[in-house]
């Protein structure tokens, strides 16, 4: 019996979930909040925008699930909406979450400031402890949460060990795969139960949409869908359309992000005022071997420490011609920011220092400009 051919990632990014409607090659925007009732027997099957089950939502959910090789998926109004609804759905009241301490600032704030208000507990561990989590588990630990590549210092947990230990204790393994994207890494290959994305970033890729996504087994996704239905962070149809359009070029974009970031990271190492570059594609990176083991590419994100005072760093940033000094990441344009003043500004200075987020740490989302132009621009701004 001949095997059914398996579509490649680029093919899935273009065709998965798509349905021809009125002979339209591109799916139209279904700008309708409600749909005709056809005697559906379950509430979540009733077509309604807040239930995230309109044609635009369904196309996206199927496409993202296919890209992550998962059974099912959901889209939300932002990356934080995907993170918060997933964690609240998967960790029950009186339950305990184990999470790494190097996290996106919004996730860190939610876990430290708000998670307990929902009657859930959280403990944090360092990325370096990821291969030895046993001592952190409690009798009520229900999930372990990590980032594929930590924000903003680009550390990589021992992902195989995280899954192995979580499952040994009967806990879910949940991962934020935003920095890597499905092009560079599919967490399901290591056994992760749920994959989260800030789809604002690489999945969309054009800095014009706020969205989130989660993919996993159908049973877990339905549990999260119920939380989304109750809390209401649904994605609007036009944003669904834009995200779907962005996904169709995901593979090409991320492949070029990988190339540009690798070259820029190597170039930054040659600039005297750049003290240290954090990029998993560099052999000097402490987690380079893990990255080479897990990933198809090393991603478009890098960080570096500037070897001068903050005011001198600010002056250097102003000399840059191409990058925008702005938060966020994953777009076609290069973005540069100091995490201590943006994504992680709400964390105390003492805690930031412990996490390696110094005031002179710079995070770069390497875009798709000609990389030679980027190299020249960083050299002229940071060499003097």
By annotation, the residues acting in catalysis are 50, 104, 176, 201
Tell me the C-alpha distance between 50 and 232, whole Å: 6
DSSP 94-107: T-EEEEESS--HHH
Tell me the C-alpha distance between 50 and 34, whole Å: 9
Structure tokens given for 360: 């002179």
Side-chain-side CA neighbours of residue 174 (13 Å): 29
Side-chain-side CA neighbours of residue 215 (13 Å): 26
Structure tokens given for 295: 């990933």
Q: Name the burial class of residue 250, with classes exposed (0-12), middle (13-18) and buried (19+) by CB atoms within 10 angstroms of its CB.
A: buried
Q: Which H or E element spans position 10?
A: helix 9-15
Of 212, 162, 204, residue with least CA distance to 187: 162
- Residue labelled with tokens 């995200």: 243
Tell me the C-alpha distance between 91 and 174, whole Å: 11
Q: Which H or E element spans position 15?
A: helix 9-15
Question: What is residue 196's three-state secondary structure?
Answer: strand
Contact 76, 123 (CB under 8 A): no
Q: Which residues contact 249 (CB under 8 A, 6 or more apart)?
A: 13, 205
Whole-number Cα distances in Å, 229 to 75, 93, 158, 312: 12, 19, 34, 49
Whole-number Cα distances in Å, 210 to 75, 199, 242, 273: 11, 7, 10, 35
């Amino acid at each position: 019996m001949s095997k059914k051919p398996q579509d490649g990632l680029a093919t899935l990014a273009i065709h998965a979930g798509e349905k021809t409607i009125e002979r339209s090659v591109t799916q139209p925007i279904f700008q309708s909040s409600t749909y005709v009732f056809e005697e559906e027997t379950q509430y979540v099957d009733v077509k309604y925008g807040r239930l995230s089950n309109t044609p635009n939502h369904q196309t996206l959910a199927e496409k993202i699930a296919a890209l992550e090789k998962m059974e099912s998926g959901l889209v939300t109004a932002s990356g934080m909406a995907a993170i918060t609804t997933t964690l609240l759905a998967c960790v029950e009241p009186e339950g305990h979450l184990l999470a790494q301490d190097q996290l996106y600032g919004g996730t860190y704030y939610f876990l430290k400031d708000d998670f307990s208000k929902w009657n859930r507990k959280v403990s944090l561990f360092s990325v370096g402890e990821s291969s030895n989590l046993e001592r952190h588990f409690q009798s009520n630990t229900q999930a372990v949460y990590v980032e594929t590549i930590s924000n903003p210092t680009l550390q990589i947990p021992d992902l195989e060990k995280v899954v192995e230990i979580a499952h040994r204790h009967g806990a879910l393994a949940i991962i934020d795969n935003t920095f890597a994207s499905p092009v560079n890494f599919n967490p399901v290959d290591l056994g992760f139960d749920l994959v989260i994305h800030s789809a604002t970033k690489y999945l969309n890729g054009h800095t014009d949409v706020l969205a989130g996504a989660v993919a996993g087994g159908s049973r877990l996704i339905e549990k999260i869908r119920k939380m989304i239905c109750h809390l209401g962070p649904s994605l609007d149809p036009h944003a669904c359309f834009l995200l779907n359009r962005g996904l169709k070029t995901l593979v090409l974009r991320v492949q070029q992000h990988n190339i540009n970031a690798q070259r820029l990271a190597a170039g930054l190492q040659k600039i005297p005022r750049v003290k240290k570059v954090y990029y998993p594609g560099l052999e000097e990176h402490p987690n380079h071997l893990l990255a080479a083991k897990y990933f198809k590419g090393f991603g478009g994100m890098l960080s570096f420490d500037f070897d001068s005072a903050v005011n001198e760093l600010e002056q250097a940033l102003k000399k840059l011609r191409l990058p925008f000094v702005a938060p966020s990441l994953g777009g076609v344009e290069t973005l540069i920011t100091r995490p201590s003043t943006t994504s992680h500004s709400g964390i105390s200075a003492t805690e930031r220092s412990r996490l390696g987020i110094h005031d002179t740490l710079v995070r770069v989302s390497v875009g798709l400009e000609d990389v030679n132009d980027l190299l020249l621009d960083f050299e002229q701004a940071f060499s003097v």
